[in-house]
Amino acid sequence: QVQVAESGGGVVQAGGSLRLSCTPSGLSLDNYAMGWFRQTPGKEREGVALIRWSGETTYFADSVAGRFTISRDIPQNTFHLQMNSLKPEDTAMYYCAAGTKWRNYKGYVPPDDFRYWGQGTQVTVSS
C-alpha cells in the first residue's frame, strides 16, 4: 500500500523559513519523481518544486525560484522542501506527491502527472 506522509507546516512571519518533509512508502523511488504542490481555495493546485529521485534533476516554479530548495535524504527515504524568505502569498496548503512521469516542465506542472498524494500540510505566512 502506497502512503505519502508530510510534516513541517505551520505559521511563520514574512521573511522567515520553514522546512517541509515527505516520506513516501510502498514505492520503489528510483523510478519516481517527487513533488511539492500548493493550493489555495478556488485555485488550481500549483507545482512549486519537483525532484527526480535518481539524478537529482529539479524544477522550481518562478514564484519560488531562489527561495525554495528541494533535497533528498536517501537513507531516510525522505525528501524536504526548504522554504526561505517566505512571503504572505506563499500561504497555502502544501501537498507532497509522487509520480512516474517527468517532462521538461516550463511554468506549469500538470497535477495529473503525479499519482500518489499526501493529505497536505498548511503553511501560513503572516505579514
Three-state SS across 5-54? EEECCEEEECCCCEEEEEEEECCCHHHCEEEEEEECCCCCCEEEEEEECC
- Local confidence pLDDT in tens for the 127 residues of the chain: 889 999 999 999 999 999 999 999 988 888 889 999 999 999 999 999 999 877 668 999 999 999 999 998 888 889 999 999 999 999 999 999 999 888 889 889 999 999 999 999 999 999 9
Distance CA 104, CA 79 (A): 21
- State the pairing for strand pair 78-83/33-39: unpaired
* pLDDT one-digit tens code per residue, 32-59: 899 999 999 999 999 999 998 776 689 9
The whole-number pLDDT of residue 57 equals 87
